[in-house]
Amino acid sequence: MSALAIQNIHKRYGEVETLKGIDIDLESGEFLVLLGSSGCGKSTLLNIIAGLAEPTGGDIRIGERSILGAHPKDRDIAMVFQSYALYPNMSVARNIGFGLEMRKVPPAEREKAVKETAKLLQIENLLARKPSQLSGGQRQRVAIGRALVRNPQVFLFDEPLSNLDAKLRMEMRTELKRLHQMLKTTVVYVTHDQIEAMTLATRIAVMRDGRIEQLGTPEEIYDRPATLYVAGFVGSPPMNILDATVSKEQLLILGDDQPIDMPVHFRSVVADGQRVKVGIRPEALRVAKGGETGAQFKARIEVVELTGPELVTTARIGEQRITACLPPRSAVTAGEDRTFVVDVDVLHLFDPQSGRSLATD
Amino acid sequence: MSGTWITTRAWLLMLPLLVVMTAVIGWPLIDTVRLSFTDAKLVGTEGTFVGLDNYVKVLGGSSFQRALVTTTWFAVVSVTAEMVIGVLAALLLNQQFRGRTALRALMILPWALPTVVNATLWRLIYNPEYGALNAALTQLGLIDSYRSWLGEPGSALTALIVADCWKNFPLVALIALAALQAVPRDITAASLVDGAGPLNRFRYVIMPYLAGPLLVALVLRTIEAFKVFDLIWVMTRGGPANSTRTLSILVYQEAFSFQRAGSGASLALIVTLLVTVLAVAYAGLVRKAAGAS
């Protein structure tokens, strides 16, 4: 039995359909990340699970029962909001315990639960303060505490880290991971940040235009993107997508006269003369030093940016741009022609029309 | 150096306003204070200095005491009712429904009407011969025969309070509605997930956002209600049997109807002092509320 089952959920606002049939089955203890850009429907789906919006069609089940039509308080869920949504007039302790107070949990029991949660989140010294006296990170901990204290079946997170600065976001990400590993809770987490998705999720649902583009583990999403959209969305810098033509079991990259070998697993699915999109992760590219095997192509280096741990190099193959993440001390300079090399096995092939991967699994 | 220059220029720029203010507010105020220590009549006599006689007479007289009670009752009941009805109307107009925008615009109408128009309208409604209220209550079987709502001391003040509420609750509703729209959507959603029902949500989640703006509305309305004149003058002129004679009506009658400028001035200053005390007390409350939030 799944902990949370999202079955064929549709949502329509007048003429606009924001969710077009979403199906996800979540096992207990899973951390599902709904990943997508603004307007893809991920927050709408979260609000539907929470009971803050009603779907036009489909069903949501927590455990064995359908929760459609149930009041948010009766769904056995807790939610953490992007804006923290702390009650400004209440102390931290009361904010955390408010859900229990409304459920008429006796004060002594409530206080014990609040203290335990505060200890878990290392905010015991803040219990008497008001939200206005807290930093962004502290507020977020209180918001998480408010969800944790009720010990619900499913936790919902709506972009909880997007209001924090980069350093704090990383700290809180680790903290969330630690909490999930410790408490083994079932989580649905909405974000547009692919790093958050990759680091936190046990499974990621990449959403686009109200549909799930791909649902899989972070490794599957990264290593075997099902569509051009997923390939471009996950990974930073994003995957290079190059136009190419199939020619006698080889690939001719547009703008490069030297053909490269076709990955073995694609040979049976492409025809001679077929146009394809070739996907190459920037981190899979190396600068050729001579004697390497693999696909090689010449490119003119345009820009070199040192980020610290890597040298992000942008180069041109004819009219096509390509980005490579090279080791920081690589000897490349803007303006020179270099040969790049990549293992043939890590190449991705997509159909230019449908945008779908040509991989057959 | 430049600071001095800026200060001089600022004073120069303010000078015309200061002259006008002194002429239209300062001088009459000073003259009122002077008058209040004399037995001057409105016309004919300059009056002689009588010390605190006017104040002693006014404060000790039953007219003042009765007018103070009437004014306080009028202010407390009408402002309380306006606050309650205003907040309820705002909560209603904050819900999603068809025709909400039209209803919001319509609600402002009573407040936008001039008081004299409002008062005349309510006089027609209360009319003992052809008033709508009498007709409605008779047809509903609640009263047997037409009554003179404004002509009976027992009902006149209540009738005025109803008219005042009708005119002024939209202001409270408008302020409350603006405050309600400032309640973050996430906070309301969080309280839903936390399991707060409508009453608890209002008390713990929405009220903190309403309190500050409502306090401002309370201050404004109380001071206005304490000074009420035009509505009562048009509807009852303080009658019947002085049952609706508020402090402002009393000041008017004393100074202009009875032409006793001296004691009228002392009464006016006492009313001014009372309103000032109210204003200062409320300002303190507002500051405290602002500090708390």
What CATH number has the domain bearing residue B262? 1.10.3720.10
Q: Are A349 and A277 in contact (CB under 8 A)?
A: yes
Band (B285; pLDDT cuts 50, 70, 90)? confident
**In this structure, are A268 and A174 located in the same domain?**
no
Taking the C-alpha atoms of residue B293 and residue A318, their distance in angstroms, rounded to an integer, is 62
Chain segment B56-75, per-residue pLDDT in tens: 988 888 889 999 999 999 99
**In this structure, are A270 and A157 located in the same domain?**
no
pLDDT higher than 80, residue B87: yes
Chain segment A38-63, per-residue pLDDT in tens: 989 999 999 999 999 999 999 999 98
A359 within some domain? no
The closest CB to that of A81, out of B190, B195, B205, belongs to B190
**In this structure, are A224 and A309 located in the same domain?**
no
The CATH number for A288's domain is: 2.40.50.140
The pLDDT, as a whole number, for residue A1 is: 64
Q: Is A102 within 8 Å of B186 when comparing Cβ atoms?
A: no
A70 at B interface, C-beta within 8 A: no
B3 within some domain? no
Chain segment A324-339, per-residue pLDDT in tens: 999 988 889 999 999 9
The pLDDT, as a whole number, for residue B259 is: 87
Cis-peptide into B240, omega within 30 deg: yes
Task: Give A99's contacts in chain B (Cβ within 8 Å).
Answer: 193-195
Q: Is B190 within 8 Å of A79 when comparing Cβ atoms?
A: yes
> What chain A residue is nearest to B199 in terms of C-alpha separation?
A102
Determine the residue type at A286. R
Task: ipTM value, please give it.
Answer: 0.82
> Exposed/middle/buried for A156, CB within 10 Å: 0-12, 13-18, 19+?
buried
The pLDDT, as a whole number, for residue B14 is: 95
Interface with chain B: mutation pick from A67, A98, A144, highest number of B CBs within 10 Å: A98
The pLDDT, as a whole number, for residue B48 is: 85
**In this structure, are A288 and A193 located in the same domain?**
no
Mean predicted lDDT score pLDDT of chain B: 90
**In this structure, are A219 and A73 located in the same domain?**
yes
Number of domains making up chain B: 1
Q: Is B190 within 8 Å of A89 when comparing Cβ atoms?
A: no
B103 within some domain? yes
> Of A163, A189, A164, A165, which is closest to residue A177 (Cα–Cα)?
A189
**Under DSSP, is residue A127 helix (H, G, I), strand (E, B) or coil?**
coil
Q: Are B244 and B160 in contact (CB under 8 A)?
A: yes
The pLDDT, as a whole number, for residue A128 is: 94
The gap from C-alpha B137 to its chain's centroid, in whole angstroms, comes to 29
Listed residues A233, A260, A285: the one ending a domain? A233
pLDDT higher than 80, residue B23: yes
- Report phi then psi at B59, rounded to 5: -65, -30
Q: Is A52 within 8 Å of B208 when comparing Cβ atoms?
A: no
Per cent of chain A over pLDDT 90 is 71
Taking the C-alpha atoms of residue A215 and residue A21, their distance in angstroms, rounded to an integer, is 14
A78 at B interface, C-beta within 8 A: yes
pLDDT higher than 70, residue B121: yes
Instruction: Note down the domain range covering B113.
Output: 37-292
Q: Is A85 within 8 Å of B196 when comparing Cβ atoms?
A: no
Q: Is B200 within 8 Å of A99 when comparing Cβ atoms?
A: no
Task: Give A87's contacts in chain B (Cβ within 8 Å).
Answer: 187, 190-191, 204-205, 208
**In this structure, are A34 and A138 located in the same domain?**
yes
Taking the C-alpha atoms of residue B130 and residue A95, their distance in angstroms, rounded to an integer, is 58
Token pair belonging to B117: 């128009």
Task: Give B193's contacts in chain A (Cβ within 8 Å).
Answer: 50-52, 72-73, 77-79, 99
Which strands make up the sheet holding A250-253, listed edge to edge? A260-261, A250-253, A240-247, A275-280, A348-350
**In this structure, are A226 and A280 located in the same domain?**
no
A308 at B interface, C-beta within 8 A: no
Interface with chain A: mutation pick from B193, B203, B207, highest number of A CBs within 10 Å: B193
Arithmetic mean of pLDDT, B205-233: 90
Would you tell me how many other CB atoms lie within 10 Å of the CB of residue A53?
A: 17
Arithmetic mean of pLDDT, B23-51: 87
Chain segment B222-275, per-residue pLDDT in tens: 989 998 999 999 999 987 989 999 999 999 998 888 888 888 999 999 999 998
Band (A162; pLDDT cuts 50, 70, 90)? confident
**In this structure, are A216 and A282 located in the same domain?**
no
B42 within some domain? yes
Listed residues A211, A233, A255: the one ending a domain? A233
Task: Give A85's contacts in chain B (Cβ within 8 Å).
Answer: 184, 186-187, 189-190
Q: Is A50 within 8 Å of B200 when comparing Cβ atoms?
A: no
Cis-peptide into A218, omega within 30 deg: no
> Of A347, A343, A325, which is closest to residue A265 (Cα–Cα)?
A347
Q: Residues of B near A (CB-CB distance < 8 A)? A: 184, 186-187, 189-197, 200, 204-205, 208, 293
A72 at B interface, C-beta within 8 A: yes
A357 within some domain? no
Number of domains making up chain A: 2
Band (B3; pLDDT cuts 50, 70, 90)? low
pLDDT higher than 80, residue B287: no
Long-range pairs for A225-230 at CB < 8 Å and ≥24 separation?
A225/A279, A225/A348, A225/A357, A226/A356, A226/A357, A227/A350, A227/A355, A227/A356, A227/A357, A228/A277, A228/A279, A228/A350, A228/A355, A228/A356, A229/A355, A230/A206
Q: Are A350 and A279 in contact (CB under 8 A)?
A: yes
Task: Give A78's contacts in chain B (Cβ within 8 Å).
Answer: 193
Q: Is B197 within 8 Å of A52 when comparing Cβ atoms?
A: no
Instruction: Note down the domain range covering A204.
Output: 4-233
Mean predicted lDDT score pLDDT of chain A: 92
The pLDDT, as a whole number, for residue B90 is: 95
pLDDT higher than 80, residue B45: no
pLDDT higher than 60, residue A323: yes
pLDDT higher than 80, residue B44: no
A177 at B interface, C-beta within 8 A: no
The closest CB to that of B208, out of A50, A73, A88, belongs to A88
If one compares A100 and A294, the residue with the highest pLDDT of the two is A100
pLDDT higher than 80, residue A296: yes
Task: Give B190's contacts in chain A (Cβ within 8 Å).
Answer: 79, 81, 85-87, 146
Q: How far is CA B207 from CA A45, A303, B188, B213, in A?
A: 30, 57, 12, 10
pLDDT higher than 70, residue A210: yes
B155 within some domain? yes
A318 within some domain? yes
Token pair belonging to B52: 């605190």
**Under DSSP, is residue A194 helix (H, G, I), strand (E, B) or coil?**
helix
The pLDDT, as a whole number, for residue A51 is: 93
Arithmetic mean of pLDDT, A343-351: 92
B132 within some domain? yes
Task: Give B293's contacts in chain A (Cβ within 8 Å).
Answer: 88-89
The closest CB to that of A73, out of B186, B195, B204, belongs to B195
3-state SS of chain B is CHHHHHHHHHHHHHHHHHHHHHHHHHHHHHHHHHHHCECCCCCCCCCCECCCHHHHHHHHCHHHHHHHHHHHHHHHHHHHHHHHHHHHHHHHHCCCCCCHHHHHHHHHHHHHCCHHHHHHHHHHHHCCCCCHHHHHHHHCCCCCCCCCCCCCHHHHHHHHHHHHHHHHHHHHHHHHHHHHHCCCHHHHHHHHHHCCCHHHHHHHHHHHHHHHHHHHHHHHHHHHHHCCCHHHHHHCCCCCCCCCCCHHHHHHHHHHHCCCHHHHHHHHHHHHHHHHHHHHHHHHHHHHHHHHC
Listed residues A181, A207, A233: the one ending a domain? A233
A11 within some domain? yes
Task: Give B184's contacts in chain A (Cβ within 8 Å).
Answer: 83, 85
The pLDDT, as a whole number, for residue A189 is: 96
**In this structure, are A202 and A62 located in the same domain?**
yes
Name, in order, each residue with C-beta under 8 angstroms of A166's C-beta and a sequence gap of 6 or more: none
A90 at B interface, C-beta within 8 A: yes
A275 at B interface, C-beta within 8 A: no
Band (B43; pLDDT cuts 50, 70, 90)? confident
- Report phi then psi at B40, rounded to 5: -60, 145
Arithmetic mean of pLDDT, A184-211: 94
**How many A/B residue pairs have CB atoms within 8 Å?**
64
Per cent of chain B over pLDDT 90 is 59
pLDDT higher than 60, residue B293: no
The pLDDT, as a whole number, for residue A213 is: 95
A13, containing H or E segment: strand A4-13
> What chain B residue is nearest to A85 in terms of C-alpha separation?
B187
Nearest CA distance, B228 vs chain A (angstrom): 36
A80 within some domain? yes
B12 within some domain? no
Determine the residue type at A146. R
**Under DSSP, is residue A206 helix (H, G, I), strand (E, B) or coil?**
strand
Question: Residue A212: left if φ>0, alpha if ψ -120 to 50, beta else—which one?
Answer: beta
Nearest CA distance, B190 vs chain A (angstrom): 7
**In this structure, are A211 and A109 located in the same domain?**
yes
Q: Are A244 and A253 in contact (CB under 8 A)?
A: yes
The pLDDT, as a whole number, for residue B30 is: 92
What are the beta bridge partners of residue B274? none
B116 within some domain? yes
Token pair belonging to A191: 């974000």
Q: Is A102 within 8 Å of B189 when comparing Cβ atoms?
A: no
A34 within some domain? yes
A207-216, B10-19, B48-57: lowest mean pLDDT where?
B48-57
Nearest CA distance, A23 vs chain B (angstrom): 24
**In this structure, are A250 and A222 located in the same domain?**
no
B278 within some domain? yes
